[in-house]
């Protein structure tokens, strides 16, 4: 399959087409917005029985390259995310601009759909726009009571999970001597999984400051610069966990932020993103026996320095309406995002995106602006 930069790449290298580029940056919007000031109301909202939202994503591909240069649209450009359905959320596709020609799972097991565009390429000076809208229904999100006394040990972790979520896959650099030495130094003689996780959380929060970058960072880069944003810090934590034998992976999604309306330009103007009432975010999912998979959010949750357990108990995915979009357990999305940036810059191609999220009750007032349909796509 031809990649976005015209070279031969495997489809599995891109999480879900263009959406991985949005996710991998994860922006500075979540951090720049005053999240903590709304914590109390967020906790109250989390107790509601059912909450329904609409997410609309509009993407424009624009060919501003030299005369005669053609943007050949591949399977990658045609892919859209279908989000995940689980005990916490149910997602429907309300509408798409073009027919869906197929649905399958990507390399990380996420469901993705392929759009059938009317043309196979975009000529110089041309553009192509599509929109997809989702209905997302949120259910109560409650954590089990967790404490160190009742946590299992490293020996209680199933071997099959270690094989799947502790290997040298994705962007986590688990074979790095520097990372391995540090992870085992922080671990010491500790075998209690929750106690060990608290050590990793505390170490990162005391030494890694929040800072955004033009591209996502590998754990060694985050460690060297002592800085990183939500997914950068999550990936460092995931690396530590995987090295000592704790299964972990990255999860991404969009947080409902009713006061948000921002536009940011990235990659020398080749990618422009506007976010209305949402921010993209990333966090770690870590297996802790006997409770199973727990979210660990290093950049949203308040009070982590005083109590590292707040990274779990007050994770965005627990206390806020947040649409879980995709898991990253195998793909090196950092490498593919960097190659895609070079592809856009070298060819003169640009992407413009506008994401909007609102409560279902607001749909009637927003429908005319967003041109949302009145039917479910089946």
- Classify residue 216 by burial, with Cβ atoms within 10 Å: 0-12, 13-18, 19+: buried
pLDDT of residue 48: 52
Mean of all residue pLDDT scores within the chain: 85
Q: Which of 35-39, 84-88, 362-366 has the lowest mean pLDDT?
A: 35-39
The more confidently predicted of residues 346 and 15 is 346
What H or E segment, with its residue span, contains residue 330? none
Please state, in angstroms and as integers, the Cα–Cα distance from residue 323 to each residue in 51, 253, 262, 318, 364, following that order.
11, 5, 19, 11, 21
Strand 271-288 versus strand 349-359 pairing type: parallel
Instruction: Label residue 140 by pLDDT band (50, 70, 90).
Output: confident
73 within 8 A of 122, measured Cβ to Cβ: yes
Domains and CATH numbers, the chain: 11-370 (3.10.620.30)
For 171-225, what is each residue's pLDDT tens digit? 999 999 999 999 999 999 999 999 999 999 999 999 999 998 888 999 999 999 9
CA 131 to chain centre: 20
277 within 8 A of 369, measured Cβ to Cβ: no
Percent residues over pLDDT 90 in the chain = 75
pLDDT of residue 133: 97
Residue 106 has pLDDT above 50, yes or no: yes
pTM score:
0.86
Q: Is the dihedral of CA 299, 359, 42, 50 positive or negative?
A: negative
For 63-81, what is each residue's pLDDT tens digit? 999 988 999 998 888 999 9
């Amino acid at each position: 399959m031809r990649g976005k930069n015209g070279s031969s790449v495997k489809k599995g290298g891109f999480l879900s087409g263009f959406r991985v580029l949005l996710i991998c940056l994860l922006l500075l919007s979540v951090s720049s917005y005053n999240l903590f000031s709304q914590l109390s109301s967020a906790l109250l909202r989390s107790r509601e029985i059912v909450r329904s939202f609409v997410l609309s994503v509009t993407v424009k591909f624009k060919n501003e390259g030299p005369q005669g240069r053609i943007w050949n649209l591949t399977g990658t450009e045609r892919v859209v995310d279908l989000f995940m359905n689980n005990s916490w959320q149910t997602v429907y596709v309300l509408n798409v601009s073009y027919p869906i020609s197929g649905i399958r799972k990507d390399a990380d097991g996420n469901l993705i759909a392929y759009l059938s565009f009317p043309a196979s390429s975009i000529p110089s000076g041309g553009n192509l726009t599509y929109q997809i809208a989702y209905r997302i229904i949120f259910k109560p999100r409650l954590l089990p009571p967790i404490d160190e006394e009742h946590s299992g040990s490293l020996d209680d972790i199933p071997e099959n999970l270690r094989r799947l979520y502790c290997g040298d896959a994705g962007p986590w650099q688990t074979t790095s001597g520097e990372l391995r030495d540090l992870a085992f130094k922080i671990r010491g003689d500790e075998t209690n999984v929750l106690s060990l996780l608290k050590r990793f959380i505390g170490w990162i929060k005391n030494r890694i400051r929040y800072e955004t970058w033009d591209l996502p960072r590998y754990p060694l880069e985050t460690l060297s610069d002592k800085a990183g944003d939500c997914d950068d810090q999550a990936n460092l934590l995931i690396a530590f966990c995987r090295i000592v034998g704790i299964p972990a992976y990255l999860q991404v999604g969009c947080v409902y932020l009713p006061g948000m309306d921002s536009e940011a330009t990235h990659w020398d103007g080749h990618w422009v993103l506007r976010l209305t009432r949402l921010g993209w975010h990333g966090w770690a999912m870590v297996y802790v026996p006997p409770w199973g998979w727990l979210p660990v959010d290093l950049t949203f949750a308040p009070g982590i320095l005083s109590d590292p357990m707040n990274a779990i108990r007050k994770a965005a995915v627990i206390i806020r309406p947040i649409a879980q979009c995709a898991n990253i357990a195998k793909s090196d999305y950092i490498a593919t995002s960097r190659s895609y940036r070079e592809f856009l810059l070298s060819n003169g191609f640009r992407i413009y995106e506008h994401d909007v999220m609102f409560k279902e009750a607001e749909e009637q007032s927003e429908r005319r602006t967003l041109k949302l349909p009145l039917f479910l796509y089946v």
